[in-house]
Structure 1
C-alpha cells in the first residue's frame, strides 16, 4: 500500500549562483513507502510561507 512518509517544499532544479529563490520553480518532494521507499517530485507549487518555513533544500548565500 502506498503511504506518504514525508512531503517537503523543494526546487525542481538547483538555483544558479546568485539566483533568488522566488525565481525558482517549486514543487513537493514526496517520500513514499511502497515496497522500497521512493521519492517523487510533484509539480504543485507550495505557498510562499511553506517555502519560507521549509527545513531542507536551502540556498546558501555566496561568499565573495
Structure 2
C-alpha cells in the first residue's frame, strides 16, 4: 500500500548564486512508503506561505 510519509515544498532545480527564491520553480518533495521508501517530485506549486514555512531546502546567503 502506498502511504505518504512526508510532503514538503522543494525547488525543481537548485538556485544559482544570488538567485531569489521567488524566481525558482517550486513543487512538492513527497516521501512515500511503498515497499522500499521512495521520493517523488510533484510539479504542483505550493502556496507562498508553504514555501516560507518550509523546514528544508533553504537558500543560504552567500558570504560577502
In the superposition, the TM-score normalised over structure 2's length comes to 0.99
2-structure distance, mates of 1:51, 1:32 = 20
Q: Which residue of 2 aligns with 1:3?
A: 3
Q: Deviations over 1:17-40 (max 9, x none)?
A: 000000000000000000000000
In the superposition, the TM-score normalised over structure 1's length comes to 0.99
- Any gaps of 5 or more consecutive residues in structure 1? none
RMSD value over aligned CA atoms?
0.3
- Any gaps of 5 or more consecutive residues in structure 2? none
| Alignment length (residue pairs) | 64
